[in-house]
Structure 1
Amino acid sequence: MIEPQPLVAMIHAVPAAQRIAAETFTREFPQATVWNVLDDRLLHDARAAGGLTDALRRRMLRLIGHVMDGGAQALLLTCSSYGEVVDTARALWDAPILKSDEAMFTAALSAPHRRVAVVASAPPAVPAAVTQLEALVPAVRPGRPVDILTALSEEAAATDDAEAAARHLADALHAVGGTDVDAVLLAQYSLTPAGQALAALLGVPVLDGAGAAARELRGLLTSSGRTAAPARTVAP
């Protein structure tokens, strides 16, 4: 049954992701009622333990169970660390459960892009994003491989100015020959504010995870989403 104001839960590991996801859903999926849950100790505890432990995975699943028991009709996990428990969660609950960047990667691979760039400002985000993207290729575009370029700019994480962050990301892309790409994918929610400026600098579409997730869930949960225009990217 399609609800007029579907309840969408979001589980976050950092406050910045909560703010950015909320702002994005207000713009892209205003019909949704958003329920935010924050575990701001998760990444600290994972680092202290040397990675995700069985106890931390159970903790993640308990949080997912909490929002599902509370009536959530869909769930967005804004931290890539939660990707490890998504398959288990999908087997336990019927509601749509999205990994942080899953919708963005699917949208990018569904387009006729031959070469895409993945950009980040934190080193762990790069391999995590590439692994997810490559895993989706056989299912989304069988027989049509895509070239993936990566660029890292830790300077982009050191500024609160979106245009400055975009310039740092563009410089990092130029340094690795990233001017010849069909689209750019932002590997972190924290980079979303820089998307529009980065698109203007590079002259190619820039996709962000929060926006893609909002559009994906809008299409699944609302009648208007079923007839909405194709997914929008940030374009120059």
Structure 2
Amino acid sequence: MNEPRPLVAMIHAVPTGARIAQEAFAREFPQATVWNLLDDRLLDDARDAGGLTDALRRRMLRLIEHVMDGGAQGLLLTCSSYGEVVDTARARWDVPVLKSDEAMFSAALAGPYRRMAVVASTAPAVPAALAQLEALVPTVRPDRPVDIVTALSEEAATAGDPGATARHLADALHAAGGSDADVVLLAQYSLTPARDALAALVGVPVLDGAGAAAQELRGLLVPAPAPGEGQAATAAAVTR
């Protein structure tokens, strides 16, 4: 008998983020049925307005309501600019709703890392990521110190391949004094293809938001096997 596949919705603002998030879920949460919604004016309209307006918040909430009415059992907003709307959504719906990089930051803070580096290729991503990370410290890591360094490489945004992107990010990290970081956090989904190459260059773990979100939703939506259940199933298969 096939287990039901959890329906996970993702709301995207850019096609690149949508592709990377889908690849992450295929890798980390293949049990999910993924439902993608793309509104490619979300970022442009926010930029034109100078930030989120009440109208843009209502627009995002309508998109969230649409997937909730459609039976979504989990939701990921891949656009960090609309992360504040998640708090409103959580108060309205009893379904896991994640901000773009929230799971990554929580995983990093829960880990053994003391010095963390946040890397980005666009300037607005740096303060947005830093604000999210610092906001989680009191709840996830109240009793252990954490040192955060940020690095920006705008050259990485136009690099021709993941290897070149990784080299630009590594150079920026070195210039920012973050070469001794224990972990590197990618502030944008668009940097995910360079994750493995960057890890090889810097010699420490590199975490990405989409992969961490997929792992968290998998943990929330897929029941863990009961103690002994896996062994019992194996024994039954052997005796048949």
TM-score class, shorter-chain normalisation, is over 0.9
Aligned counterparts, 1:80-99, within 5 A:
80-99=80-99
Structure 2 unmatched runs, 5+: 228-240
Structure 2: which amino acid aligns with 1:190? S
Q: Distance in 1 between matches of 2:135 and 2:21?
A: 24
Question: Are 1:198 and 2:169 an aligned pair?
Answer: no
Aligned to 2:49: 49
Count of residue correspondences: 225
CA contact (8 A) 1:106 1:136 kept: yes
Which letter does structure 1 place at the counterpart of 2:70? Answer: G
TM-score, structure 1 length as denominator?
0.93
Query: Residue 211 of structure 1 aligns with which residue?
Result: 211
Q: Distance in 1 between matches of 2:52 and 2:120?
A: 22
Query: Aligned equivalents of 1:222 and 1:51: distance in 2?
Result: 36
Matches of residues 38-187 of structure 1 in structure 2 within 5 Å? 38-187=38-187
3-state SS, counterpart of residue 100 of structure 1: coil
- After TM superposition, the score normalised by the length of structure 2 is 0.91
CA distances 1:166-194 after superposition (whole Å, capped 9, x unpaired): 00000000111111110000000000000
Q: What SS does structure 2 have at the residue aligned with 1:76?
A: strand
Report if aligned partners of 1:4, 1:222 keep a CA contact under 8 Å in 2.
Answer: no
Contact 2:52/2:82 (<8 A) preserved? no
Structure 1 spans left out of the alignment, 5+ residues: 228-236
Residues 225 and 67 of structure 1: is their aligned pair in 2 closer, same or farther, counting only changes over 3 Å?
farther
2:95 and 2:9 map into 1 onto residues whose CA distance is 11
Which runs of structure 1 show a deviation greater than 6 angstroms over 4 or more consecutive aligned residues? none
Given residue 156 of structure 2, which amino acid in structure 1 is its aligned partner?
Answer: A
- Which whole-Å deviations, capped at 9, do the CAs of 1:199-224 have from their partners, x for residues lacking one? 00000000000000000001111124
Maintained 8 Å contact 1:183/1:204: yes
Q: Percent identity?
A: 79
SS in 2 for 1:223: coil
Distance in 2 separating the partners of 1:54 and 1:214: 29
1:213-232 equivalences under 5 Å are: 213-224=213-224
